[in-house]
Amino acid sequence: MKKAFYGVMRDGTSLSRSDSLRPVELSGALRSETTSPVAQYSRQMQFEPRLRNGIHDGTITLAFRRWRRCQVVAGHQYRTGLGMVLAEAVDVVEPADITPAQARDAGFGSVHTLVDDLRGDPALPLYRVRFRPLDTPDPRDELAATETLTGSESAAIAGRLERMDRASKRGPWTMQVLTQIASQPGVSSAILAPKLDWERADFKLHVRRLKELGLTISLDVGYRISPRGAAYLALVTGSRIDHSP
């Protein structure tokens, strides 16, 4: 496989080496890193518009899901797309245990309507999750806002990108996508993906992985490089990268 270029720091340290400081893992849904800026932060559960809007405006406090394996952990924080929420409690219940009050707390007019709305095999366990909205920023936003990087932080990013490249059947892709987004902010993925000969859905999935590292920011249309991503690209390319909105 072709060797990906990650750059060289001013002190001569190669940024293509993966034996440097390991980066913060942002994608471990059930993992808590007490030294990480995103401790007890998870991203496994999907929040449909009805649910996320209701949680944040206070009209919904419960969610019911059929899962083969529980996707949330009590005490962990989750992104909804509108902000952060805390999973206060997670319980396995039977449909017959759901009360009219719980159905209303889940945003439904009746237990029957709630049960009819459930997706998945009825034989799967049914989980009841109690959520509370948090007045805290998305950890990715805080990470993305970083405008300067230490040597160890740059090496950590390089190591993470190298591992992502090695794991991809496409070969090295991370720097290609980062530089494309930096040079074409606000351009739809429907346009960006074909330019790299990617399917749009696959392209968006890979960009999401860069966003988890705080390197890109999603816009209403397209993306832009984050201050953190611009700092990293400037380091490895030697050129100033514009990250203005």
**C-alpha dihedral sign at 218, 224, 227, 233:** positive
End-of-domain residue from the set 93, 112, 135: 135
**Which helix H or strand E contains 41, and what residues bound it?**
strand 41-42
- Helix, strand, coil percentages in the chain from 3-state DSSP, rounded to 5: 35, 15, 50
- Reported as a single tens digit per residue, the pLDDT across 147-157 is 899 999 999 99
Domain assignment of residue 12, yes or no: no
Same domain, 145 and 73: no
Q: Is residue 232 part of a domain?
A: yes
Q: What is the CATH number of the domain that holds 117?
A: 2.30.130.30
Asked whether the predicted pLDDT for residue 139 surpasses 90, the reply is no
Give the β-pairing of 84-93 and 41-42.
Answer: unpaired
pLDDT tens-digit readout, 19-43: 332 222 333 322 333 333 333 444 5
Over residues 157-171, the mean pLDDT reads 94
If one compares 31 and 201, the residue with the highest pLDDT of the two is 201
- 140 or 209, higher pLDDT: 209
Q: Report the relative pairing of strands 62-66 and 41-42 from DSSP bridges.
A: unpaired
Domain assignment present for residue 55? The answer is yes
Asked if 111 and 151 sit in the same domain, the reply is no
Share of the chain above pLDDT 90, in %: 63
pTM above 0.85, yes or no: no
No. of helices (H) and no. of strands (E), the chain: 9, 7
Closest C-alpha to 229, from 137, 124, 166, 154: 154
CB of 183 closer than 8 Å to CB of 175: no
Element (H, E) at 230: helix 227-237
Total domains in the chain come to: 2
User: What angle is formed at CA 34 by the lines to CA 24 and CA 45, rounded to 5 degrees?
Assistant: 70
**Whether residues 162 and 109 fall in one domain:** no
Domain that holds residue 91: 41-135
- Indicate which CATH number applies to the domain containing 231: 1.10.10
User: What is the torsional sign of CA 75, 76, 80, 84?
Assistant: positive
In terms of domains, do 129 and 186 share one?
A: no
Are 127 and 150 found together in one domain? no
- By the 8 A CB rule, do 1 and 163 touch? no
Domain boundary among 135, 164, 192: 135
Q: Closest Cα partner for 235 from 186, 182, 192?
A: 182
Asked whether 130 and 62 are in contact (CB, 8 A), the reply is: yes
Whether residues 157 and 182 share a domain: the answer is: yes
Q: Which of 50-64, 156-170, 186-200, 230-244 has the least mean pLDDT? A: 230-244
Same domain, 110 and 152: no
Residue 18 lies in a domain: no
Looking at 51-97, which runs of residues are DSSP E strands?
62-66, 77-79, 84-93
Q: How confident is the model at residue 3 (pLDDT cuts 50, 70, 90)?
A: very low
116 in a domain, yes or no? Answer: yes
pLDDT computed for residue 7 by the predictor: 47
Query: Given pLDDT bands bounded at 50, 70 and 90, which one contains residue 223?
Result: very high
- Range of lowest pLDDT (4-13, 101-110, 147-156, 225-234): 4-13
Rounded to whole angstroms, the Cα distance separating 57 from 169 reads: 43
